[in-house]
C-alpha cells in the first residue's frame, strides 16, 4: 500500500440530516491478509432493533432486517473484530473522564470535568425542553441538585460512538487489552458531526502498530458511505427556501411601501436631530437656554419648520466641582441647500444660543452667549461650547446684576460670531469686555440626503466636500434628467435579470450557436 | 424603504437621589416609521444597588424599524422611577435621546430631569409631580412651561445598523 498516513486530527462536518443516515465503510487488513470491508450504521443499537421483525415498519427497515438476517445466517457476525461503543456503554464514561489534554504525567480530571461528563450522559435520555414555553415562575427559590448540575455547566447533548477494533491474534478475540479505538464520531443536537480521525480519502490508510513480540501492523481506512442527496432534491430544497425568503421580503416591503421621500434634484437636505443636553459651570441657578438657527444664503427651510426654541427652566445640582443643569431638550431641524453659484463655497448654518437664569424673585440675568456651527459631516457629534457674557465698565453694572437682575445684553445675538450686519473685511471687537462663564453641551445627529449621492457609490464612502458632489446641477438639469432615466432603466434591467430562475439564463447561454471548428 | 436595526441594552442609571430604581422605556418615531419587529416599549426590573448608587439593569433592546422618509427620527423616551421601602412609586426623572444616526456601536449617556417638587412634597411623598402626558417629555413643545430640576443619568449601549439608506442618497 502507498505510504500510510498518520492519524491526524478531527474533522468537523455539518448536516441537518438525522444521524441515522450516516453510513461508514471501514476496511482493514493486517499484514497482507485480504482486506475486509464492513458497513456500519451510526446507531449500533439499531442493528439489534432491526433483527426483531416487529420493529420493522418501512421498506428500508425491512431491507436492514434482510441484510442482518443474511449476516446472521453466514455464521454470526463474521467479523467480530470491529464493533462499536456508544453512549450506553461503560467505555464512553471512562473515556470521557480519562481523556488527557496536556502532557502532564499525572493529569487528574478536575471536578468540572466530572460534572460535565455527568450532564452530557444524562442529557441523552431526556427530550429537549421546549424553549418557547413561558415559565410562570422566573426564580427558583430552592434549586434541586439536578437543577444545579444542569444549569451551572453547558449542556449541549452530544452522542458519541467509538468504532473499536479488536486487534488481538486470531483466536484470541474478545480481550480488553487488544481493543483500540479506530474512530470517534460525535454528533450534537445542532447537526455538527465531529469525526476523529478524519475519513481517509486519498491520504492512504491509517496504521496501528501493536506492542508485543510480533509488532503487528494493522492498516485501516474509513470512508463516508452515506447516500448523497440527489441534485434534483437539493435544487427543490433551494427553490423552496428562496420562495420563502422572497415571500417574507415582499411581506415586509408591503407593510411599508417601497418608496422613499427624496429631495428635489440639485439640493442637499440636511437633517439635524439634536439635543441640548446640559449646561454646566454657571453662576446662578434656574437656567434655561434660548436658541435659534441662522440660515445663510442659498439655504432654505419649510415655513412650518421651527428654527428656534426655549428649553425648560432647570435647577442645578452639584456633580463633581460643577453645578450642572440637565435639559435633555430634543429638536429636529430640516434645511435645504441649493447651489446657485459654482464658485462660492457653501456656508453652513449656525446655531446661536444664550443661557439665562430666572430666579424665584423673577430676577432675570444673562449667563452667557455662544454659537455653534453645524457639523459638515454626517454622524453623531457631541459638542461642548463655552460661553461668555458681556461685562460693563465699573462695579455698578455688576452690583445691579447681583441685586435686581438685569445685565448688559447683546442686541443682536449674531454678534457672538459674525454679526449679520457686518460688511467689511476685518471685524474688530476692541473695547468689548466679556467674562467667561460656563459651557453648554449639545448632542447632534446630522444626516445628509441628496440625489447626487446616488451617482457614485465608491465616492460616497470617502468624506468629500459637498461642492464636488453637487457640481453645477442647476445648469445641467436636462442632462441630469437623461442620465437619471438611464440609470433607472439599467437598475430595472439588473433587478429583472436577478429574479430570473438560474436555469433559464443557462439554457439561453447554451442556445447561442457555437461557431463550427474549421 | 430603508430599514434601521437598533439593538443594545439599557445598562444602568446613576446619580439619582434615590437608590431603588427601575426604568420604563419607549420608542417614539414619526408617522413615516414602522416597527417591523421587536417590542417598542418595556420596563426594566427593579434594582437595588448594594455598593454605590448605580442601579444596573442590563435590559436588552432589539428593534427593527422601516421608514419611508427621514423625518421623525426615532427617539427613546426613558422614565426612571424609584420604589421606596414601603413600596410606593415615585418619579425619579424623564429623559429623551435620539437614536444615533451613524451606524456602529454607541455609548449614549442620557441625562434626566424631573419637575421640581415643593418642599412639602419632598418631605412626604416619594418622587414629585409627574407630567400629565409623559409622552410630552419626548417632544419639545411647551417645555418652557416647566420648572424642573436636574436628576441622574442613564447609560445605554446602542448598536445601529442601517440598510438601504445609501440607495436613497442618504449619507449617515
For A352-380, write each residue's pLDDT tens digit. Answer: 999 999 988 888 899 999 999 999 999 99
Cβ atoms of A270 and A444 closer than 8 Å: no
Least confident of A85-99, A252-266, A487-501, B110-124: A85-99
A447–B101 C-beta distance less than 8 A: yes
Residue of B15, B68, B75 with shortest CB distance to A330: B75
Chain B residue nearest residue A259, CA to CA: B1
Reduced to 3 states, what is the DSSP secondary structure of residue A313? strand
- 3-class DSSP state of B127: coil
Residue in B closest to A491 by C-alpha: B167
Predicted pLDDT at A97: 66
**In the predicted model, what is the mean pLDDT of chain A?**
77
Q: Does residue A417 carry a pLDDT above 80?
A: yes
The count of structural domains within chain B is: 1
Q: Residue A281: pLDDT above 80? A: yes
Cβ–Cβ gap A257/B148 under 8 Å: no
Q: How confident is the model at residue A73 (pLDDT cuts 50, 70, 90)?
A: low
Question: SS3 for A127-158, per residue?
Answer: CCCCCCCCCCCCCCCCCCHHHHHHHHCCCCCE
Long-range contacts of A489-494 (CB under 8 A, 24+ apart): none
Query: Taking CB atoms and an 8 Å limit, are B75 and A311 in contact across chains?
Result: no
| Spatial CA neighbour of B127 closest among B15, B3, B18, B13 | B18
Q: A267-421+431-452: what fold? A: Immunoglobulin-like (2.60.40)
Which pLDDT tens digit goes with each residue over A447-493?
A: 999 888 876 554 545 444 554 555 544 444 556 667 777 888 888 88
pLDDT band at A2 (very low <50, low <70, confident <90, very high): very low
Contacts of B145 in chain A (CB under 8 A): 312
Domain that includes residue B63, residue range: 2-168
Report the residue of chain A nearest B30, measured CA to CA: A332
Cell numbers that stand for A408 in this block: 448688559
Least CB–CB distance from B71: residue in A288, A334, A448: A334
Q: Using CA atoms, how far apart are residues A26 and A220, in angstroms rounded to an integer?
A: 7
B168 DSSP assignment: G
pLDDT in tens, B75-113: 999 999 999 889 899 999 999 999 999 999 999 999 999
> Does residue A131 register a pLDDT over 60?
no
- The count of other CB atoms within 10 Å of the CB of residue A318 is 9
pTM of the predicted structure, to 2 decimals: 0.71
Q: Which of A128-137, A146-155, A340-349, B43-52 has the lowest mean pLDDT?
A: A128-137
B162 vs A184, higher pLDDT: B162
Q: Give the residue among A83, A96, A93, A71 at the shortest CA–CA distance from A168.
A: A83
B94 Cβ neighbours under 8 A, 6+ residues apart: A328, B77, B78, B79, B80, B112, B113, B114, B131, B134, B137
Nearest to B109 by CA among A313, A380, A290, A271: A380
Best mutation site among A260, A358, A468 for testing chain B: the one with the most B CBs within 10 Å? A260
Here the cell at position A502 is 438560474
* Nearest Cα residue to B26 out of B79, B100, B82, B72: B79
**Which CA distances in Å does A16 have to A22, A192, A193, A230, A381?**
11, 8, 10, 15, 48
Mean pLDDT of A302-314: 91
- Position A439 pLDDT exceeds 50: yes
- Which chain B residue shows the shortest CA-CA distance from A257? B1
Domain boundaries, chain A: 11-119+143-231, 267-421+431-452
- CB under 8 Å to A166, separation ≥6 — which residues? A80, A81, A82, A83, A173, A174, A175, A178, A179
Residue A345 has pLDDT above 50, yes or no: yes
d(CA A330, CA B98): 8
The CATH code of the domain that includes B102 is 2.60.40.150
| Cell numbers linked to A217 | 501492523
Phi, psi of A142 (to 5 degrees): -125, 85
The pLDDT value given to residue A5: 44
Q: A186 near A14, Cβ under 8 Å? A: no
Amino acid at each position: 500500500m502507498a505510504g500510510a498516513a498518520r492519524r491526524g486530527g478531527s474533522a468537523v462536518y455539518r448536516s441537518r440530516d438525522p444521524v441515522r443516515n450516516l453510513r461508514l465503510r471501514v476496511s482493514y487488513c493486517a499484514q497482507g491478509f485480504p482486506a475486509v470491508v464492513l458497513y456500519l450504521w451510526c446507531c449500533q443499537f439499531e442493528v439489534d432493533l432491526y433483527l426483531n421483525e416487529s420493529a420493522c415498519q418501512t421498506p428500508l427497515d425491512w431491507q436492514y432486517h434482510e441484510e442482518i438476517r443474511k449476516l446472521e445466517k453466514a455464521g454470526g457476525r463474521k467479523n467480530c473484530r470491529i464493533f462499536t461503543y456508544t453512549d450506553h456503554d461503560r467505555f464512553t464514561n471512562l473515556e470521557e473522564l480519562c481523556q488527557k489534554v496536556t502532557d502532564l504525567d499525572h493529569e487528574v480530571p478536575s471536578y468540572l470535568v466530572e460534572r460535565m461528563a455527568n450532564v452530557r450522559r444524562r442529557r441523552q435520555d431526556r427530550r429537549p425542553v421546549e424553549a418557547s414555553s413561558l415559565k410562570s415562575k422566573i426564580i427558583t427559590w430552592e434549586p434541586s441538585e439536578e437543577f444545579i448540575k444542569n444549569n451551572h455547566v453547558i449542556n449541549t447533548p452530544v452522542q458519541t460512538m467509538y468504532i473499536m477494533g479488536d486487534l488481538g491474534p486470531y483466536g484470541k478475540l474478545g480481550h480488553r487489552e487488544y481493543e483500540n479505538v479506530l474512530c470517534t464520531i460525535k454528533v450534537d443536537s445542532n447537526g455538527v458531526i465531529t469525526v476523529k480521525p478524519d475519513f481517509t480519502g486519498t491520504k492512504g490508510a491509517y496504521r496501528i502498530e501493536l506492542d508485543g513480540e510480533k509488532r503487528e501492523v494493522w492498516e485501516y481506512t474509513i470512508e463516508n458511505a452515506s447516500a448523497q442527496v440527489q441534485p434534483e432534491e437539493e435544487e427543490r430544497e433551494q427553490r423552496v427556501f428562496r420562495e420563502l425568503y422572497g415571500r417574507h421580503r415582499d411581506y415586509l416591503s408591503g407593510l411599508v411601501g417601497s418608496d422613499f421621500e427624496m429631495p428635489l434634484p440639485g439640493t442637499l437636505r440636511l437633517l439635524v436631530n439634536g439635543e441640548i443636553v446640559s449646561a454646566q459651570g454657571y453662576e446662578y441657578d434656574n437656567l434655561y437656554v434660548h436658541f435659534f438657527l441662522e440660515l445663510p444664503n442659498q439655504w432654505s427651510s419649510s415655513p412650518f419648520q421651527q428654527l428656534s426654541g426655549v428649553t425648560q427652566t432647570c435647577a442645578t445640582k452639584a456633580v463633581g466641582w460643577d453645578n450642572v443643569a440637565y435639559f435633555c431638550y430634543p429638536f429636529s431641524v430640516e434645511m435645504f441647500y441649493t447651489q446657485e453659484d459654482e464658485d462660492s463655497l457653501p456656508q453652513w448654518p449656525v446655531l446661536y444660543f444664550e443661557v439665562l437664569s430666572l430666579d424665584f424673585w423673577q430676577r432675570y440675568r444673562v449667563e452667557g452667549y455662544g454659537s455653534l456651527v453645524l457639523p459638515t459631516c454626517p454622524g453623531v457629534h457631541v459638542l461642548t461650547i463655552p460661553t461668555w457674557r458681556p461685562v460693563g465698565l465699573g462695579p455698578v453694572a455688576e452690583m445691579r446684576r447681583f441685586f435686581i437682575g438685569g445685565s448688559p445684553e447683546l442686541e443682536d445675538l449674531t454678534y457672538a460670531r459674525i454679526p449679520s450686519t457686518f460688511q467689511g473685511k476685518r471685524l474688530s471687537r476692541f473695547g468689548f469686555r466679556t467674562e467667561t462663564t460656563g459651557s453648554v453641551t449639545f448632542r447632534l445627529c446630522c444626516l445628509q440626503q441628496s440625489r447626487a449621492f446616488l451617482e457614485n457609490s465608491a465616492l460616497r464612502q470617502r468624506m468629500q466636500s459637498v461642492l464636488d458632489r453637487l457640481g453645477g446641477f442647476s445648469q445641467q438639469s436636462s442632462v441630469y434628467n437623461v442620465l437619471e432615466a438611464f440609470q433607472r432603466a439599467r437598475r430595472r434591467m439588473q433587478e429583472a435579470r436577478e429574479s430570473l430562475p438560474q436555469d433559464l439564463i443557462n439554457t439561453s447561454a447554451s442556445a447561442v450557436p457555437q461557431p463550427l471548428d474549421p | 424603504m430603508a430599514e434601521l436595526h437598533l439593538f443594545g441594552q439599557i445598562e444602568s442609571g446613576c446619580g439619582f437621589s434615590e437608590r431603588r430604581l427601575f426604568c420604563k422605556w419607549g420608542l417614539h418615531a414619526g408617522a413615516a416609521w414602522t416597527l417591523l419587529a421587536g417590542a417598542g416599549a418595556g420596563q426594566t426590573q427593579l434594582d437595588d444597588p448594594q455598593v454605590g448608587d448605580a442601579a444596573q439593569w442590563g435590559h436588552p433592546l432589539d428593534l427593527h424599524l422601516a421608514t419611508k422618509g427621514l423625518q421623525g427620527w426615532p427617539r427613546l423616551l426613558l422614565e426612571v422611577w424609584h420604589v421606596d421601602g414601603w413600596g410606593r412609586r415615585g418619579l425619579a426623572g424623564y429623559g429623551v435621546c435620539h437614536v444615533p444616526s451613524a451606524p456602529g456601536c454607541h455609548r449614549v449617556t442620557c441625562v434626566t430631569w424631573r419637575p421640581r417638587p415643593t418642599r412639602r412634597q419632598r418631605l412626604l411623598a416619594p418622587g414629585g409631580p409627574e407630567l400629565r402626558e409623559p409622552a410630552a417629555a419626548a417632544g419639545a413643545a411647551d417645555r418652557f412651561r416647566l420648572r424642573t430640576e436636574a436628576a441622574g443619568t442613564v447609560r445605554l449601549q446602542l448598536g445601529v445598523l442601517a440598510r438601504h439608506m445609501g440607495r436613497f442618497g442618504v449619507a449617515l
